[in-house]
């Protein structure tokens, strides 16, 4: 492809990679050690002048572009005024505006309030803090294949051992894992899968002991698994009956990624609490917990917060990002990407028997391979990387390729990326 000037990684990237080995802890990996110099909507330009087609958005972060003009402008304007005060010391308006947007955009028309943090894991931890405080119960229920972060509590909530949990224990107590809905493998309807999960909770934990069920409406790192229709509403209904808080972890699915503002919207599920991060601020670190006003207000003053949570520059970026989502109708854009990608990949799937399923929603799409080992996914990903297309893998078995293009990716660039992926799948 003419976008590449050197082999991938090029000589300058290799030089930086050698320097990195002396400076950066080995425990931080990089999918593709190509060092980036600049970016454009859907393109990453590396230090050797290679242009890579970005089908990963830095893990569903740069949904609005990289950077979106409205984000860059807002960040410049804010950093020139002030960079930080700490909202817990002397507050500022941007934090309020982000909370107002979140309260309006998240599912449900009931009164809501929000609190801001720095990372997804921090938001999930705080959702659990709030749920335990308000219910006076301790148990937290999560699902097979779930991913919620890398801090101690969120490692406990996360299903997969390697690489997230291996030798990092002991983990936080009072976390219980139950079966999820995985239509390709369990063959269950949503109602059947929910009955199985609920029976496990009632038998092994007890509804009365459960503070919260924490669930990704479409599982991300676990394999881009969309539950069978009816699964989420049935779990939410059981939570309501048993006084358990339904916490939707929309950190990867949020902000237009699945073709609606939040993936919960798809089946009209209204969570008690919702965690957001990744796509919220066009690349700046920001996260939030949003929920029913009476729940969010139950915690004593000073019980929630942090030095940087809701940093003014990150808040300005979020407001620019949300404005871009509205102005460019990125929900419609995500649905268009789904049509393009799914029809192409389904045609490819007919020509090969390595593919078990093409699935996903909006611009959160995946290919699961028949083989339950990482080998095929790794081979396909590497072939794409060698040709300058950034794709990511995921899945409990590592046998899934996931596509998370920026929602503003130009059609011709998406087509170019898919040409390469198709070639790799059929090779
Ligand atoms: C990425 C992710 C997290 C963790 O977010 P960080 O910002 O990396 O801490 C939590 N939950 C889900 C669903 C995620 O995709």
d(CA 78, CA 283): 15
User: Does ligand 1 lie within 6 Å of residue 147's CB atom?
Assistant: yes
pLDDT above 80 (res 408): yes
* Ligand 1 centroid to residue 150 C-alpha, Å: 8
Q: Half-sphere exposure of 172 toward its Cβ, with a 13 Å CA cutoff?
A: 19
Probe residue for ligand 1, chosen from 252, 253, 314 as the CB with the greatest number of ligand atoms within 8 Å: 252
pLDDT of residue 281: 98
* Average pLDDT over every residue of 132-144: 98
Q: How far apart are CA 115 and CA 353, in angstroms?
A: 47
Which domains does the chain possess?
11-64+329-426 (3.90.1150.10), 69-327 (3.40.640.10)
Going by CA atoms, what residue is nearest to atom 8 of ligand 1? 120
Q: Strand 43-46 relative to strand 36-40: parallel, antiparallel, unpaired?
A: antiparallel
Mean pLDDT of 252-267: 98
Stretch 387-400: mean pLDDT: 97
CB of 149 sitting under 6 A from ligand 1: yes
pLDDT in tens, 293-334: 999 999 999 999 999 999 999 999 999 999 999 999 999 999
Query: Cα dihedral sign for 141, 142, 148, 152?
Result: positive
Q: Mean pLDDT, to the nearest integer, of 126-132?
A: 98
In the predicted structure, residue 142 carries a pLDDT above the cut 60? yes
> CA torsion, points 319, 103, 360, 222, in degrees to nearest 10?
100
Tell me, what's the pLDDT at 5?
97
pLDDT of residue 34: 98
Tens-digit pLDDT profile for residues 87-122: 999 999 999 999 999 999 999 999 999 999 999 999
171: its two tokens:
């983990």
* Angle between helix 312-327 and 69-81 (nearest 10): 150
Q: Does 279 score more than 80 pLDDT?
A: yes
Question: Is the CB of residue 255 below 6 angstroms from any atom belonging to ligand 1?
Answer: no
Percentage of the chain modeled with pLDDT above 70: 100
Predicted TM-score (pTM) above 0.85 = yes
What's the pLDDT tens digit per position in 164-217?
999 999 999 999 999 999 999 999 999 999 999 999 999 999 999 999 999 999
Full strand arrangement of the beta sheet holding 139-143 = 112-117, 287-292, 273-276, 245-249, 210-215, 139-143, 175-178
Ligand 1 centre and the CA of 221: distance in Å? 9
As a whole number of Å, the end-to-end CA separation of the chain is 17
If you average pLDDT over every residue of the chain, what do you get? 98
Calculate mean pLDDT across residues 46-67: 98
pLDDT-derived band at 364 (thresholds 50, 70, 90) equals very high
If you measure from the C-alpha of residue 22 to the centroid of ligand 1, how many angstroms do you get, rounded to a whole number? 28
For residue 346 the two structure tokens come to: 């389904």
pLDDT at 1 over 80: no
Q: Which atom of ligand 1 is nearest to the CA of 149?
A: 4
d(CA 116, CA 44): 29
Nearest atom, ligand 1, residue 150 CA = 9
* Nearest alpha-carbon partner for 135 in 258, 277, 294, 3: 294
Query: Residue 79's pLDDT band (boundaries 50, 70, 90)?
Result: very high
Give 165 Cα–ligand 1 centroid separation in angstroms. Answer: 15
Q: Please determine, for residue 2, whether its predicted confidence score (pLDDT) is greater than 90.
A: no
């Amino acid at each position: 492809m003419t976008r590449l000037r050197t082999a991938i990684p090029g000589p300058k990237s290799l030089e930086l990679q050698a320097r990195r080995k002396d400076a950066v802890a080995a425990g931080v990996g990089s999918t593709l050690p190509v060092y980036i110099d600049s970016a454009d909507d859907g393109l990453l330009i590396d230090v050797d002048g290679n242009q890579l087609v970005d089908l990963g958005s830095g893990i569903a972060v740069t949904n609005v572009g990289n950077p979106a003009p409205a984000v860059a402008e807002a960040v410049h304007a804010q950093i020139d005024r002030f960079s930080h005060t700490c909202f817990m010391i002397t507050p500022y308006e941007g934090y309020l505006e982000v909370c107002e947007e979140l309260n309006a955009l998240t599912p449900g028309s009931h009164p809501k309030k929000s609190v801001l943090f720095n990372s997804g894991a921090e938001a999930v931890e705080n959702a659990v803090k709030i749920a335990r405080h308000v219910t006076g119960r301790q148990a937290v229920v999560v699902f097979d294949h779930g991913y919620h972060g890398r801090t101690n509590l969120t490692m406990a909530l996360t299903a997969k051992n390697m690489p997230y949990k291996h030798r990092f224990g002991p983990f936080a107590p009072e976390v219980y894992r139950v079966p999820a809905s995985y239509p390709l493998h369990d063959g269950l309807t949503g109602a059947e899968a929910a009955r199985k999960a609920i029976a496990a909770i009632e038998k092994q934990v007890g509804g009365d002991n459960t503070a919260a069920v924490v669930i990704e409406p479409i599982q991300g790192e676990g394999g881009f698994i969309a539950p069978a229709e009816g699964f989420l509403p049935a779990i939410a209904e059981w939570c309501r009956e048993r006084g358990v808080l339904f916490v939707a972890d929309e950190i990867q699915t949020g902000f237009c990624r699945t073709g609606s503002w939040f993936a919960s919207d798809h089946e009209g599920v209204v969570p008690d609490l919702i965690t957001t991060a990744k796509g919220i601020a066009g690349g700046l670190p920001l996260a939030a917990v949003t929920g029913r006003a009476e729940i969010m207000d139950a915690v004593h003053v000073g019980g929630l917060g942090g030095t940087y949570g809701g940093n003014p520059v990150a808040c300005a970026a979020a407001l620019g990002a949300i404005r871009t989502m509205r102005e460019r109708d990125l929900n419609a854009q995500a649905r268009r990407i789904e049509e393009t990608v799914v029809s192409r990949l389904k045609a490819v799937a007919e020509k090969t028997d390595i593919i078990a399923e093409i699935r996903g929603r909006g611009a959160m799409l995946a290919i699961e391979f028949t083989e339950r080992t990482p080998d095929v996914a790794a081979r396909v990903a590497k072939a794409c990387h060698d040709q300058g297309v950034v794709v990511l893998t995921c899945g409990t078995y590592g046998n899934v390729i996931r596509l998370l293009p920026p929602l503003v990716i130009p059609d011709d660039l998406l087509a170019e990326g898919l040409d390469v992926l198709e070639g790799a799948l059929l090779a």
